[in-house]
């Protein structure tokens, strides 16, 4: 029996088991949720630092709230010009550390990964000013059951399948960006337990691009939620699926 065919009968039992196992108390998001990253040029150029802060802050707001669109809210946009006032700590990694210096100082044109730790209370105020609430932990684990049909044929995206390497990487990257716990099924193992299940049907089009239909099922939802992603790349479709899942499962999305 394939992993795809095992999915349907296990869904109700999986959801019930996870509801019973969910802790009764919630904790504020961990400090890692208030950390964002940006790539800048030069570590000691004030304008570049501010540009990095402006990039990182909306990402942190999205991660803490669970709503990827919240970075465009008026409150967050107004805070971007003084984002440096919200910074608690910052560190740098030289992305060209093993390459020859390219200018007389050796740093002006070098690319750095800047990690920014924002003040949690300030970020929480921004989120509340935007009409949302911080999403506490523990967050529900989402099992992604994505059926992909490409030019070779259909397959279920799994942790151990030989196909779907690019799609797996996107799932991992987007889930990390959102602070959303995500698991994939295994080809040979029973589906792992999860508090929510996101099923998708992704099909490549003859003219190029992908069409994707999603269904989100969770014990906290009164009924399954269904939507379709706009035709395009699989990166964008997977991001759309996980972003909508995060918004829907967050407390603000279920009001």
**Measured between alpha carbons, how far is 179 from 169 in angstroms, rounded to an integer?**
15
DSSP string, 16-61: HHHHHHS-S--BPPPGGGGEEEEEEE-SS-HHHHHHHHHHHHHHHH
Q: What is the pTM of this model?
A: 0.83
pLDDT for position 110: 82
Within 10 Å of residue 82's Cβ, how many Cβ atoms? Answer: 10
CATH class for domain 3-25+138-249? alpha beta
Cβ burial of 76 (10 Å; 0-12, 13-18, 19+) is buried
4 pLDDT band, cuts 50/70/90, is very low
Residue 160 confidence (pLDDT) above 50? yes
Paired strand residues for 117: 35, 89
Nearest partner of 202 among 161, 247, 149, 253, judged by Cα? 149
Residue 6 confidence (pLDDT) above 50? no
Cβ burial of 232 (10 Å; 0-12, 13-18, 19+) is middle
Domain range annotation of the chain: 3-25+138-249, 31-129
Residue 52 confidence (pLDDT) above 70? yes
Most confident of 94-98, 112-116, 193-197: 112-116
Residue 253 confidence (pLDDT) above 80? no
Instruction: For residue 78, give Cα distances in angstroms to 51, 67, 117, 118, 181.
Output: 14, 18, 19, 16, 30
Residue pair 148/167 in contact (Cβ under 8 Å)? The answer is yes
**Measured between alpha carbons, how far is 33 from 31 in angstroms, rounded to an integer?**
5
133-143 in b/e form (b: 16+ CB < 10 A) is bbbeeebbbbb
- pLDDT digit string (tens) for 100-156? 655 554 555 788 999 999 999 999 999 999 999 999 999 999 999 999 999 999 999
């Amino acid at each position: 029996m394939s992993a795809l065919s095992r999915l349907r009968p296990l869904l109700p039992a999986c959801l019930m088991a996870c509801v019973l196992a969910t802790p009764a108390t919630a904790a504020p998001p961990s400090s890692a949720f208030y950390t964002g990253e940006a790539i800048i040029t030069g570590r000691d150029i004030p304008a570049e630092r501010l540009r990095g802060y402006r990039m990182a802050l909306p990402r942190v707001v999205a991660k803490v709230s669970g709503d990827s669109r919240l970075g465009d809210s008026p409150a967050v946009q107004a805070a971007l010009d003084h984002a440096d006032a919200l910074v608690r700590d910052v560190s740098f990694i030289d992305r060209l550390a093993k390459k020859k210096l390219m200018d007389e100082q050796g740093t002006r044109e070098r690319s750095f990964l800047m990690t920014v730790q924002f003040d949690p209370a300030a970020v929480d105020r921004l989120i509340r000013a935007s009409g949302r609430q911080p999403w506490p932990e523990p967050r529900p684990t989402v099992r992604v059951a994505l059926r992909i049909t490409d030019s070779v044929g259909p397959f279920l995206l799994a942790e151990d399948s030989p196909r779907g390497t690019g799609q797996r990487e996107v799932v991992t990257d987007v889930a990390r960006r959102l602070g959303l716990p995500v698991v994939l099924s295994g080809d040979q193992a029973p589906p792992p337990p999860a508090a929510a299940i996101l099923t998708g049907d992704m099909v490549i089009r003859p003219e190029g691009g992908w069409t994707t239909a999603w269904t989100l099922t969770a014990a906290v939802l009164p009924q399954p939620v269904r939507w379709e992603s706009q035709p395009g790349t699989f990166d964008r479709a997977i991001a759309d699926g996980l972003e909508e899942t995060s918004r829907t499962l967050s407390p603000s999305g279920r009001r």
